[in-house]
Each structure stands twice: as structure tokens, then as C-alpha cells.
Structure 1
């Protein structure tokens, strides 16, 4: 090795040590209060989003299992009295049981007391219909809990990250201008670091959007099944006889469900 080789290696090592380490840690260390606040907001959004995803996912799984159990019992029961006795003994833990319990109680209440109050005015069928509509509205509201937060996070997180990027690029360019060094190596590092905030915003938003779409579809399917069950239950309570052979009913067509569909918010 020539004498100049050690000097060249030493100069390269000195140059490498002089170049500041770039990356997420360096970006956070160089960020001001605004940049760190935006990062904290994105972290809170991510934690809240994943908490809602896990809670809603587990709730939907339990609701689906309990609904299948209740529907299996309901259509194999010999009478509504047997259904009412089962509900009274074990309570309700699913939307279909909640709907059936209120509808049966409404019919029994109207048969016993009649139209004692304004909300009970009309025939027994009118009172049961209003009760079913009220329960459907309650179930729809319960299913939609948390969806507004997920939608908000999915829609705003990318812009929060983009704001952090714009803020970081601005300060990086100001610092470069004050130093007087406008070479590519001086510009690319700070600007590239500022893009980290956009990546974080997208990482927060994407799971929230995917979960919102999945949960919304699941709720729409459950709402359609509740509509069908409400129609069959109302007809059964009104006629006092099974709707089809073997105690099971066919799913009604969509136009017949419209009067029982709760109004959209």
C-alpha cells in the first residue's frame, strides 16, 4: 500500500463522521414543537383507530355467533310463548333477540292495557310496528358507533402527515438557505426526512379506511337481515300463525321491507 492510501482512508473516515446521520430519529430530534405535535396527533389517531378496529371486530364476531344461536332457537321454537320464556330466562344478547323481545312485549302490553298513552295509540299492529321501527333505529345507531371516528381518521390522517412534511421541508430549506450550501447532498437529506411524516399519515389512514369499509359492509348485511326478520316477526304477530311450513319462513322481497326500514341519518 502506498503512503497516500492511509491518508485517503483517514480522510474518508473523517468525512463520514462529519456527515450527520439521517433518518427518523434525526428528523424528530431536529423537529420543532409543531412537527412533534403533528407526530403526537398521528400516534393518537393510530392508537384510537386500532382500538376501534379490535373492539368492533370482536363485537361483530360475538354478535354474529349469538345471532345465529338465537335464530336457530327462534325458528325451532313451537310458539312465541316459548320464545318469550327463553328470553325472560336468559335475556337478550343479540339484535334479533332484542327485536323479538320488544315486539312480543309490545303485543302483550297492548293486549293487556290497550292504548293508555299517546305512544300506544292505534291498533295493536300499529303499536307493534312502531316498536319494531324504534328497535331497528336503536340497533342501527349501535352498529354505527365508532364509524364516524374511523372515517375521520381515514380522511384526515394523510393531510396531517402532509402538513408535517410541508412544515419540515420549509424549515429544511430555510436552514439550507442560511448555511449557503445548496448542493444536492445538503438538500436531499432534510427534504427526504420531511417525507417521513407523509408516510406516517398514510400508515395511519390506510387501516382506518379498510376497517371502515369492512365494518360498514358487515353492518349493511346485518341490517338487511334484521329488516327481513322484522317483517316476518310482524307478520307472525299480526296473523298469529306460521308463515311457512315447518315453522320456517322465506326471506321477503325488498319492496316488502321498505316500511320497516329506519330512516337514514
Structure 2
């Protein structure tokens, strides 16, 4: 009897409910690892871009600085380069446009709002997928537990049909059903750890973006580097 026990035996004997539960956990695992790998790669790229800020402030002019930022990574995913270009567009739009409601703002407020919107967009992109990780981390253990409960119920029905109850007949099927709880934890733990690591990485990038936005605002308003950027 013990030779028949195992994960695949549980899937076959557990019926559609156990098979569907295992399949859902498998999909959740694939989804969580995909998000973790993709987002971790993005954070590493953003950290590399953040390292190029020192070269940006040591450039001869703004265009050379933008080229150095662009060379640090994919322009479509370079939040720091995007921040600089949004500031440029804000100045050009404010100075060369017909009168609109937003033109009642002075240049400083207009640049501040533009840079803040750019940071909000970057924050939204950085946070994409984190809700999925949080959901998987919180629900996977309960899905696995449901599979265990159903497996034990199914096993007890089979034992009851035999008319005899002994420890060896109970321990095997029940222990087999507990595999589903282990699968739930196997899916949930990486999702929770990955979520926490990605949140820390996102906070680091957002901190760099906010500091860079402050420096850019000062530069656009005065044409001079701040004391902080001179010390880099």
C-alpha cells in the first residue's frame, strides 16, 4: 500500500478537485516567479541608471547629460532620462503656448507639477505586478489547505468503504493529502519574500528619483547645480 502513495497517486485518486487545485497552485507559482524575475531585472537596470547620475551632473551641458543617461539603459524604461525630458518639455510648453488655465501657474509650480507627474508614472510602473504577488502570497496557503481538507475527506471515504480502520490505513492517505498544504507554502513563501524585496528596491529607486527631481527643479529655475550636486 505504501508503494502506491505519493504526489501523483494523490492527483489520480483525488479526483477533479485535487487536480484543479494543484493546477491553480502551479499557475500561481509560474505567475509569481515571472513577476519576481521581470521586476528584479527592471530594478537592477534602474539602479544602473541611478549610478549614471554622477556622470549626468559632470556633463558640459544638458544634452550631453541626457546622452549619458540614455546610454545607461533602455530609453523606454529609463525613468531618470524621462524626468529630464519632461522638465524640458514643461519649460518649452510654458514659454511657447497660448493662454490656458495651467498657464496661470508660475514656471516653478509648473515644473514641479510636471516632475511630480513623471515620478507618479514611474511609481505606477515600478508597482505593476506587486498586487499579484501579494495576492498569491496571501491566498496560496489557503488554497493548499483546501486541497488538504478535500484530500483527507476523500481518503476517509475510501477508508470507510473498507470497513476496517487502522493506523497504517489512515496515516498513508492523510499524509498524502498534506502534500497540498506543502505545495501551498511552496508557492506562497517565494511570493512573499519576492514582494518584500521588490518593495525595498522600488523605495530605493523612488528615493533616487525624488532627489533627482529636486536637483533638476533647482537647475531649471536657476541654471546652476545645487550645492549637493557639486559635492558628488
TM-score, scaled relative to structure 2: 0.90
Distance 1:64 1:86 in 2: 15
Partner in structure 1 of residue 93 of structure 2:
109
Is the CA contact (8 Å cut-off) linking 1:232 and 1:249 kept in structure 2?
A: no
Contact map agreement 1:236 1:243 (CA 8 A) in 2: yes
The alpha-carbon deviation at position 93 of structure 1 amounts to: 4.4
Out of 107, 115, 138, the position equivalent to 2:121 is 138
Match for 2:160 among 165, 177, 185?
Answer: 177
Check whether the contact 1:84–1:104 (CA below 8 A) recurs between aligned residues: no
Greater radius of gyration (CA): 1
Secondary structure of the corresponding residue to residue 105 of structure 2: coil
1:1-265 equivalences under 5 Å are 21-69=4-52, 71-80=53-62, 82-83=64-65, 93-113=77-97, 116-244=99-227, 248=230
Long gaps (5+) in structure 2 = none
- How far off is 1:125 after superposition? 1.1
What SS does structure 2 have at the residue aligned with 1:33?
A: helix
In 1, the alpha carbon distance for the partners of 2:21 and 2:219 equals 57
* Aligned-residue RMSD, C-alpha: 2.3
Which stretch shifts more, 131-140 or 176-185?
176-185
Residue deviations 1:171-201, cap 9 Å, x none? 1112212221110011000100000000000
Q: Deviations over 1:133-176 (max 9, x none)?
A: 11011000000011011111111100000000000111111221
The structural deviation recorded for 1:105 is 1.9
The alpha-carbon deviation at position 22 of structure 1 amounts to: 1.1
How many residues align? The count is 230
Work out whether residues 57 and 65 of structure 2, in 8 Å CA contact, stay in contact via their aligned partners in 1.
no
Q: How much does 1:81 deviate?
A: 5.0
User: Gaps spanning 5+ residues in structure 1: where?
Assistant: 1-17, 251-265
Q: Secondary structure at the match of 1:31?
A: helix
Distance in 1 of aligned mates of 2:40 and 2:75? 23
Query: Partner of 1:242: helix, strand, or coil?
Result: coil
Distance in 2 separating the partners of 1:61 and 1:174: 52
Partners of 1:66 and 1:93 within 8 A in 2? no
Q: Which of the pair has the greater relative contact order for Cα pairs under 8 Å at 6+ separation? A: 2
Note closer, same or farther for the CA distance 1:92–1:167 as it changes in structure 2 (3 Å cut). closer
Corresponding residue of 1:6: none
